[in-house]
Amino acid sequence: MRLFVAVWPSAPVRVALENAPRSGYRGVLRWVAPEHWHVTLAFLGEVPERAFDDLVAGLRAVAHRAGPLAATLGPSTVRLGRSVLCVPVSGLDPLAEAVRAAVLGRSTDLPFRGHLTLARARAGRSVPAALLSRPLMASWQVRAFSLVSSVTASSGPHYEDLVRFTLAG
């Protein structure tokens, strides 16, 4: 199973994202479908089925210790590398650190860069500068996170929540 741990934006945040300009740049960008908008707390990659129960137990323990968090989207669009158009998301660092420690068995040296991906540049392309620094702000109360399955198909990825963890606080 290919898995990641994510936070999904609230309905009002999704509305703000849907109202942001997303047209144009056909052949240059692949826009992320609204049902796929999320903030990845930890990417796990391929996980053997025999490790699933221990993984869930570790994430459940994180959820029992953590309380709700305020997440803030914005203030504007940025580029990660050459090929990812996204919006920064702040406020999730403590949860991401706890999740990473639980699922990796330790803290990671790679810093958490909270973001929500809006589009990816097609092969050999980069995100056009005209799409950068566009104002896009919203905030929401994060009350849960999910263990998500990712299946890649020719039509694009398919995400499915396998387990949803409610934050105890």
38 is in which domain, residue-wise? 2-166
Count of structural domains, the chain: 1
H or E segment and range at residue 14: helix 11-18
Q: Which residues of 75-98 are buried (b: 16+ CB within 10 A; e: fewer)?
A: eebbbeeebbbbbbbebbeebbbb
Which CATH number fits the domain that encloses residue 26? 3.90.1140.10
Half-sphere exposure of 147 (CA within 13 A, CB side): 25
Helices and strands in the chain: count of H runs, count of E runs: 3, 10
Digit-by-digit pLDDT tens for the chain (169 residues) are: 899 999 999 999 999 999 887 777 888 999 999 999 999 999 999 999 999 999 999 999 999 999 999 999 999 999 999 999 999 999 999 999 999 999 876 556 678 999 999 999 999 999 999 999 999 999 999 999 999 999 987 777 899 999 999 999 6
Preceding peptide of 111 cis, ω within 30°: no
Token readout for 139 is: 């905030």
